[in-house]
Structure 1
Amino acid sequence: MMLSFEQGVSARVPDALMADMYRDRKRVFIDLLGWDLPALDGKYEIDQFDGPDTLYLIVGLADGTHLGSMRLLPTHRPTIIGDFFDHLCDAGAPSSQAVWELSRLCLSPRIRAAERRGVRNRLLTSAVQFALQNGISAFCCVTHAWYMPEVMAYGWQCTVLGLPQMDPGGMVGALEIAINEDTPRLMAQAGTWDETPAQTSFDPSLDRGEVQ
């Protein structure tokens, strides 16, 4: 199992790992959850936020098999929360280089429950490590109201940005997640911190490429 930091959509049909990620996103968000999203070529879930500067955390195998992933977007650029769910935030959606949006957390439907927990924890830990290394003070996300208690149980210090509201897909709300030096300890107490050494294909530094 390897952890990959990938940046941007390099081609209409991306490399094997990213292509499998987009296929799994289609299986999870369109086929299983029934979200009203476009499917490129009928098999990839790719939206307007999947651009050349988008950063992805991907857990996969050396043969290009996707196990789990999430998308990270700085909120001073277009985001889901800013473009579509600003109304969920009493003080307006976050817009800062120090606050990034987490979206499209996707665990492959092909892996078993025991594996899913490990992959999820690897993604959560890597996102926090990335934030601590790069001066990111908070994450934000939009999620279904029923899932909010689980997000809070990750050991994250969460603030609800406004009252959840009804959406065509159900009740949804917006959260801001503080990231600081105490976060790893809190996640370890919650059982979500994963210190397992992982092979990575990219040095996750904001000094690389166009990610700022």
Structure 2
Amino acid sequence: MTDQSTRAQAAPGDAALRAMFAARKQVFIDLLKWDLPALDGRFELDQFDNPHARYLILLDPDDLRHRASARLLPTTAPHLLGDLYPHLCPDGAPSGEAVWEISRFCLDPAQSAAERLDARNQLVSALADHALHNGIREYVGIAEARWFAKISGFGWSCRALGPALPGSAGPILAFGIRIDADTLPGLQRTGTWTPLGLKLEGGELAP
């Protein structure tokens, strides 16, 4: 588990989760126009936001506003790649205790471009740090081809798990990120490494 950040200590878990789900609605439904359900018209959740899910959430230190977040799912339980997009992996979707899926990588749109870049780098660094401290040897996920190009440039070892195939908003593909002793040095070389302790949240949205 990553170190709990002082940025999140004053916020109850449900407040951090609510902020994240609200930001996901703004990004994935309002901005990107994904065809997804919205709880109470305010929160974006799907069937994978369940007790298996874990969340890394970056909050503003002053007003506890959501800045960035990501959902982590064990590949030994239901997850997007294995259950909905296995066709993206001709050799089969990777799975196992040391393989976790990243999804709903969300940067709050209210931030400036510089703030979003800073939040992105902090979240990527936290994902790497969390993996190294919790026995995760590979992250897998699904991305649009243009986003995959950015992910690959962060400095960690990232590979496509199959060819890009048509998606609703353009070509999509499955990817894998190897986590090992070279991960942090690679992120440091590209200037992506921005260490920051994040609070790891788990559980469902409180009523």
* Partner in structure 2 of residue 139 of structure 1: 139
What code does the residue aligned with 1:44 have?
F
What code does the residue aligned with 1:137 have?
R
Q: 1:4 to 1:127 in 2, by over 3 A?
A: farther
Asked if 1 retains the 8 angstrom alpha-carbon contact of 2:52 and 2:77, the reply is no
* Partner in structure 2 of residue 15 of structure 1: 14
* Cα displacement (A) at 1:18: 1.3
* Partner in structure 2 of residue 66 of structure 1: 66
Gaps of 5+ in 2: none
For normalisation by structure 1, the TM-score amounts to: 0.86
What code does the residue aligned with 1:31 have?
D
Q: How far, CA to CA, are the matches of 2:8 and 2:164 in structure 1? A: 33
What code does the residue aligned with 1:72 have?
L
* Cα displacement (A) at 1:135: 1.2
Asked if 1 retains the 8 angstrom alpha-carbon contact of 2:7 and 2:64, the reply is no
- Report the secondary structure of 1:117's partner residue: helix
Structure 1 segments (4+ residues) deviating >4 Å: 1-5
* Cα displacement (A) at 1:19: 0.8
What code does the residue aligned with 1:40 have?
L
Q: Does 167-176 or 22-31 show the bigger shift?
A: 167-176
* Partner in structure 1 of residue 118 of structure 2: 118
Q: How far, CA to CA, are the matches of 1:21 and 1:60 in structure 2? A: 9
Q: How far, CA to CA, are the matches of 1:2 and 1:148 in structure 2? A: 32
Gaps of 5+ in 1: none
* Partner in structure 1 of residue 151 of structure 2: 151
1:26 maps to 2:25 = yes
Q: How far, CA to CA, are the matches of 1:139 and 1:4 in structure 2? A: 25
Root-mean-square deviation over aligned CA pairs:
2.3
* Cα displacement (A) at 1:178: 0.4
* Partner in structure 1 of residue 54 of structure 2: 55
Asked if 1 retains the 8 angstrom alpha-carbon contact of 2:21 and 2:43, the reply is yes
Q: Which has the higher contact order (CA 8 A, sep 6+)?
A: 2
Asked if 2 retains the 8 angstrom alpha-carbon contact of 1:71 and 1:104, the reply is yes
